[in-house]
Amino acid sequence: MSERRHKTNDGQEHAAEEFEPYEMHNPVPWPLIALALALAVWGILTLYSTQEAAQDTPPVQQTQGQAQSGGQQAKGRSEAGEALFSSHCATCHQVNGSGIRGAVPPLAGSPYVTNSADVPISIVLFGIENEIEVAGNTYNGLMPTFGHTLDDAQIAAIVSYIRGNWGNDAMPVESSLVSTLRERFAGRDQPWNGGAELAQLFDTGATDQTSANLEETR
């Protein structure tokens, strides 16, 4: 700001204040500048994160389509398993998996069905004869082999069906497991020798079967 003097009509001099141009522009406080920069950086980071999240999120339609496809496959396998069970197994084991008292062991609630999937697959592949104990009852009969008449996918469908019905809640099986067991016992040409032999090879969940039982039946 500067001072300039001038005369009035009465001949006296008076001082008048004048503002310099630079005084009309006050400098911006540095805290305000820092705040503006921080907001700008935050906005850029937020935009970048949002774009990254959008790229990583799969389309909803694709996810729903995959779930629908998986459900249809499971339904188809269950229907195939039920049809195969009805035509090959239900005569002896009954449509409700209850078996025939004193003659054919039940599948419902049987540890031979719900424990290791290797057990029911191996039984369907090669059959079983002699003693087997299920739910406190001993059965002594002969189940024929289906390994020569059913392929791996068909056996997997049957085993998956019996593991998931009549109160059984075990996981379904894939045909690849059937193939593995078929190859593992490729040289076998006779049925399993009762529950005792199965217990020596697999987790049957039937602790009452011992090697002594196996020796007695040989």
Count of beta carbons in the 10 Å neighbourhood of residue 124: 25
Q: How far is CA 22 from the centre of its chain?
A: 73
What token pair was written down for 108? Answer: 């419902």
Q: Is residue 175 part of a domain?
A: yes
- Encode pLDDT of 166-185 as tens digits: 999 999 999 999 999 999 99
Count of beta carbons in the 10 Å neighbourhood of residue 22: 7
What's the pLDDT score for residue 205? 74
- Asked if residue 99 lies in contact with residue 159, where contact means CB atoms within 8 angstroms, the answer is no
Q: Is residue 31 part of a domain?
A: no
Q: Is residue 49 part of a domain?
A: no
List the domain range (segments joined by +) for residue 143.
Answer: 77-217
- Encode pLDDT of 3-43 as tens digits: 455 555 555 555 555 545 544 455 666 666 767 777 776 66
Q: Is residue 26 part of a domain?
A: no
Q: Is residue 200 part of a domain?
A: yes
Q: Is residue 40 part of a domain?
A: no
CATH number for position 201: 1.10.760.10
**What is the count of structural domains for the chain?**
1
Kindly report the average pLDDT of the chain as a whole number. 78
- Encode pLDDT of 62-114 as tens digits: 445 444 544 555 555 678 999 999 999 999 999 999 999 999 999 999 999 99
Q: Is residue 39 part of a domain?
A: no
Between the two ends of the chain, the Cα-to-Cα distance in Å is 121
Q: How far is CA 102 from the centre of its chain?
A: 39
Pairing of strands 192-193, 128-134: parallel
Q: Is residue 54 part of a domain?
A: no
In the beta sheet, which residues pair with residue 5? Answer: 15
